[in-house]
Chain A
Amino acid sequence: MAGSGLWFSLLLAAAFAGRAVALWPWPQSIRTSNWFYTISPHSFQFKYHASSAAQPGCSVLDEAFQRYRGVLFGSEVWPGPARTGKQPMSEKTSLIVLVVTPGCEELPSLESVENYTLTVSDEQCFLLSATVWGALRGLETFSQLVWRSPEGTLFINKTEIEDFPRFPHRGLLLDTSRHYLPLPSILDTLDVMAYNKFNVFHWHLVDDPSFPYESFSFPELSRKGSYDPATHIYTAQDVKEVIEYARLRGIRVLAEFDTPGHTLSWGPGVSGLLTPCYSGSQPSGTFGPVNPILNSTYEFMSSFFLEVSSVFPDFYLHLGGDEVDFTCWKSNPDIQAFMKKKGFGDDFKQLESYYIQTLLNIVSALGKGYVVWQEVFDNKVKVRPDTIIQVWREELPVNYLKEMALITSAGFRALLSAPWYLNRITYGQDWKVYYLVDPLEFEGSAEQKALVIGGEACMWGEYVDTTNLVPRLWPRAGAVAERLWSNKGVTDLDFAFKRLSHFRCELLRRGVQAQPLSVGYCEQEFEQT
């Protein structure tokens, strides 16, 4: 980053150019200057470069242009420029976008390339990227470069950015089972994810308390298992809408159907699926995890996951596999007999493995990859070598960094979530704790570190619904977003505080109810409706 003349290097730029470099997450490489241009809502346009592989009609970019017009200028319709002469030299009237490879109608994937370069100079405003997904990231950066004078004039500084993510999987988990989240809450979250360059929506759809996913193969699941089948469900149409809304923002939807534990809400809709618990020699009337000894269980799972794998187009499904409580299995005489027959002894982990292996075979046969929670690895279930293991436990059985080392040394890819349980609120600026985590700070070879594909911020739903979701998520999840996108060396807390404070005000301006980091104010505060 050799600076000369007008150019400043990274931190200098932050000090001098002030608002012009309030980017979040921080790009891999930036050169910026205190020379700036104006932008006018009357004349400014997003345009495709003549040799771009994406051209008008490209849904992803056409819609993105429209969205970012709204972000920059508001939703009002601006009349064309007053024809009173030439544009001033210092005005930028367009951002030219050049995408190298086609793919406007495709879905983003784990392998998607999100690199882009953005140039704002005397000659041009130019965004170059390999894919439309990279162009989306670049558009977001462009929108963050634009700043406003108190009179409302828009400016953008002379800037060169080369950017790409540090990790390819940057996720956010929402839990729609403990509390139902209305569709608009999910869609709004996807918008803010895009502002933060998150690219995976991990949808923890169902769990013990409720089953809001409306299955067309097994409609009884949500009819009997949702909080309210008239209002608290996601129809096929809803799910489609979420997936498409996410796609247009370069976000994958990773659906989780957690089994064999966390399945109480499945029980009412599928008789015989759950294990009847016994007290003494009698069934107690309560139910435990999925019953792993019945053929009917696996027949059901085959049909159910056949549906799920076609409804959710991402290559990966999340199969859960966490926190299986063995008490009920232990109490059930049929299960005891099965254990004996299989020679499992008293080791219920073997029974769990038996279930999970069978399930994984079913899902593999459907041509899907899978992500599982760490217990599946901890309990030594034999899984395919390309399985992704998600680490969520902070200290047990081992510290999460140690767990990352173990998983990667066994050759599996790993996802980190343990330090990023955003539902666990505390007083003060806990974003700093999230921010200072480094997912690769474990002992291991370069090959091992290369197996860490990213991480996820998790917002579990015990205490979260649409009343408090947004301020609890933002800007705290932003800390995780930058950790997963930006260079390892971007760790200065003061620098981050300044940019994140500014970014949260920008979120308010965009209508997002993001809570404050500390004392202070934003020009535009959140207004209650």
Chain B
Amino acid sequence: MELRGLGRPRLPRLLVALVALALLAEQGPRVSAARGPALWPMPLSVQMSPRLLRLSPDNFYFSHDPSSKAGPSCSLLQEAFRRYFNYIFGFYKWHHGSAKFHTETELQQLLVSVVLDSECDTFPNISSDESYTLLVKGPVSFLKANRVWGVLRGLETFSQLIYQDPYGAFTINESTISDSPRFPHRGILIDTARHYLPVKSILKTLDAMAFNKFNVLHWHIVDDQSFPFQSITFPELSNKGSYSLSHVYTPNDVRMVIEYARLRGIRVIPEFDTPGHTQSWGKGQKDLLTPCYNKQPPGTFGPVNPILNTTYSFLSKFFKEISMVFPDQFIHLGGDEVEFYCWLLDIISTIKKRSIVWQEVFDDKVKLQQGTIVQVWKQELYAHEQNVVTAAGFPVILSAPWYLDWISYGQDWIKYYSVEPLDFGGSQEQKQLVIGGEACLWGEYVDATNLTPRLWPRASAVGERLWSQKEIKNIDDAYKRLTIHRCRMVRRGIAAEPLFTGYCDHGDKM
């Protein structure tokens, strides 16, 4: 008793048939989602030969090329080697019998080489170089990148190339890949104010982001409902403004998130939205919010009170702390009212940070400093908004079509996937101002119980749109790859929900 003919989109059904046929043709009777390489997001250039190499966990390792600017002292890479070894071998059924392969058909080593100054111990930033080339051949393959960030992306791709053949043998095609992202800013927004997310959930999200080559965690950390960020300068903010004393991010938690993200080539951009969306600030900071008069009951408060000097000295100190806690060059300032902003933007530039604001700040004609990034989020006429903002010379992050908290029945990933971020009238120069986009998962109805299946693989659609070339937009092909990619995420411990009817072939009943 399914809802046949009652509103299921037609396209995906056709797709399923196509995919089923394709898989049948390739693999015999059973339609499963876990065999064969499936790259997600699709790299810039892939040449794959039919020649197969085998790998064995007993006889494969990652190592540093002697000429590499990064070596075993680069813990970022050492950690990544360990992670990817496990992703590749750790979760599969083991088929012992100690197979001995011929040297020329066995892949024994991936030799990693960083060409320029490795940036191993720095934080990624908006201009970090994520490009890499991957040459897969036996017995030694090569991964080459200018910086460690490219190595991380290349390791992910390498791990996606490996699959188990029908007999369980780890297999990879000889291939040559060169890759770099289409947009430098590829983000996920999480909201820890409407619901608190335990640190573990955030770290899991960072794992999944790396699998999808996302590189920005936009942390909407506080809002009206709660203030979980523990400030050293103003501890009362979270003491009084958090849901409870266990619903707090300590300085140590924040450091852990930032470092975990760094190791995966992900930036953490905090958002402290003012002067609106600040009800929770008022509890711990006396006189910060505007007392309301008129018919409001006494004791209600509005936005941050912009007429008091104390407000500004508080915000100066507060953002000074923020600028030291969060190493990224950018701080997201949210966005509402006008007067207030000119002033706030000044604070930010005196602490040597750059600002991101929601589109209202631009729409309300606040005088923005050059280089302030405008995030476009309103659904209506977003292409027009992109055009206007870029025409005024400001960089743009696109989020409007990617509000993943707005769930609906069926395969909505197709809708997210089919967005073209540069599809607005405007000059070449304007288009270059679009630095990327973000998938937003606002927290009104999301907490640790449903975050992961709601985010993945739906956000993966955005991940490919922002990484891969404009021309990579065939839905059938994407469906096929994404189905396998979601099973891969499940295998790696991410409870990514299914795209449609079917199953994952990894023997653990998932």
Binding site for B on A (CB under 8 A): 175, 178-180, 182, 204, 207, 209-210, 227-228, 230-232, 258, 262, 320, 322-323, 373, 390, 392-394, 421, 423-429, 458, 460-468, 470-472, 508, 513-521, 523, 525-528
12 new A-B contacts, CB < 8 A, other than A180-B509, A515-B450, are A179-B501, A209-B502, A228-B505, A393-B6, A461-B501, A467-B452, A468-B453, A470-B449, A514-B449, A515-B445, A517-B445, A518-B445
Interface residues on B, range: 35 or more
B403 to chain A, nearest CB (A): 9
The reply to whether B407 and A425 form a contact with Cβ atoms under 8 Å apart is yes
B459 to chain A, nearest CB (A): 14
The reply to whether B409 and A323 form a contact with Cβ atoms under 8 Å apart is no
Q: Indicate whether B213 reaches chain A with its CB closer than 8 angstroms.
A: no
The reply to whether A521 and B503 form a contact with Cβ atoms under 8 Å apart is no
Could you jot down 20 A-B contacts, CB within 8 Å?
Answer: A179-B498, A179-B503, A182-B510, A204-B1, A232-B509, A258-B1, A393-B6, A425-B408, A427-B405, A463-B499, A464-B497, A467-B497, A468-B498, A516-B447, A518-B444, A519-B225, A523-B244, A526-B447, A528-B200, A528-B204
The reply to whether A516 and B503 form a contact with Cβ atoms under 8 Å apart is no
What are the 7 tightest A-B residue pairs by CB atom distance, in nearest-first order?
A: A468-B453, A471-B450, A521-B243, A467-B495, A468-B497, A227-B503, A182-B509
Q: Indicate whether B195 reaches chain A with its CB closer than 8 angstroms.
A: yes
Nearest CB in chain A to that of B8: its residue: A462
The reply to whether A520 and B195 form a contact with Cβ atoms under 8 Å apart is yes
The reply to whether A178 and B501 form a contact with Cβ atoms under 8 Å apart is yes
Residues of the A chain whose Cβ atoms lie less than 8 Å from the Cβ of B3: 421, 424, 460
Q: How far is the CA of A227 from the CA of B410 in the complex (A)?
A: 22
Q: Indicate whether B500 reaches chain A with its CB closer than 8 angstroms.
A: yes
A385 to chain B, nearest CB (A): 23
Contact with A along B483-510 (1 / 0, CB 8 A): 0000000100001111111110101111
Residues of the B chain whose Cβ atoms lie less than 8 Å from the Cβ of A182: 509-510
Residues of the A chain whose Cβ atoms lie less than 8 Å from the Cβ of B498: 179, 463-465, 467-468
Residues of the B chain whose Cβ atoms lie less than 8 Å from the Cβ of A471: 449-450, 453
A264 to chain B, nearest CB (A): 12
Nearest CB in chain A to that of B503: its residue: A227
Q: How far is the CA of A396 from the CA of B48 in the complex (A)?
A: 52
The reply to whether A467 and B453 form a contact with Cβ atoms under 8 Å apart is yes
Q: How far is the CA of A127 from the CA of B111 in the complex (A)?
A: 71
Nearest CB in chain B to that of A461: its residue: B501
Residues of the B chain whose Cβ atoms lie less than 8 Å from the Cβ of A516: 195, 445-447, 449-450
Residues of the B chain whose Cβ atoms lie less than 8 Å from the Cβ of A527: 198, 200, 448
Q: How far is the CA of A517 from the CA of B196 in the complex (A)?
A: 14
B448 to chain A, nearest CB (A): 5
Q: How far is the CA of A209 from the CA of B499 in the complex (A)?
A: 15
Q: How far is the CA of A508 from the CA of B449 in the complex (A)?
A: 9
Q: How far is the CA of A466 from the CA of B503 in the complex (A)?
A: 11
B394 to chain A, nearest CB (A): 31
Residues of the A chain whose Cβ atoms lie less than 8 Å from the Cβ of B499: 463
Q: How far is the CA of A14 from the CA of B30 in the complex (A)?
A: 56
Q: How far is the CA of A230 from the CA of B8 in the complex (A)?
A: 32
B420 to chain A, nearest CB (A): 24
Q: How far is the CA of A464 from the CA of B496 in the complex (A)?
A: 11
A28 to chain B, nearest CB (A): 31
A209 to chain B, nearest CB (A): 5
Q: How far is the CA of A258 from the CA of B4 in the complex (A)?
A: 15
The reply to whether A468 and B495 form a contact with Cβ atoms under 8 Å apart is yes
Nearest CB in chain A to that of B497: its residue: A468
Contact with A along B1-20 (1 / 0, CB 8 A): 11110101000000000000
Q: Indicate whether B101 reaches chain A with its CB closer than 8 angstroms.
A: no
With contact pairs A462-B501, A519-B443 given, residues A468 and B450 touching in the complex (Cβ less than 8 Å): yes
Residues of the B chain whose Cβ atoms lie less than 8 Å from the Cβ of A210: 503
The reply to whether B198 and A525 form a contact with Cβ atoms under 8 Å apart is yes
Chain B CB within 10 A, most for which of A373, A429, A466, A514: A466
With contact pairs A230-B507, A423-B409 given, residues A521 and B196 touching in the complex (Cβ less than 8 Å): yes
Residues of the A chain whose Cβ atoms lie less than 8 Å from the Cβ of B454: 468
Q: Within the complex, which residue of B30, B226, B501 is in contact with A209, where a contact is CB–CB below 8 Å?
A: B501
Q: How far is the CA of A426 from the CA of B498 in the complex (A)?
A: 17
The reply to whether A519 and B1 form a contact with Cβ atoms under 8 Å apart is no
Q: How far is the CA of A227 from the CA of B30 in the complex (A)?
A: 7
Within 8 A of A (CB), among B191-223: 194-196, 198, 200-201, 204
Within 8 A of A (CB), among B430-462: 443-450, 452-454
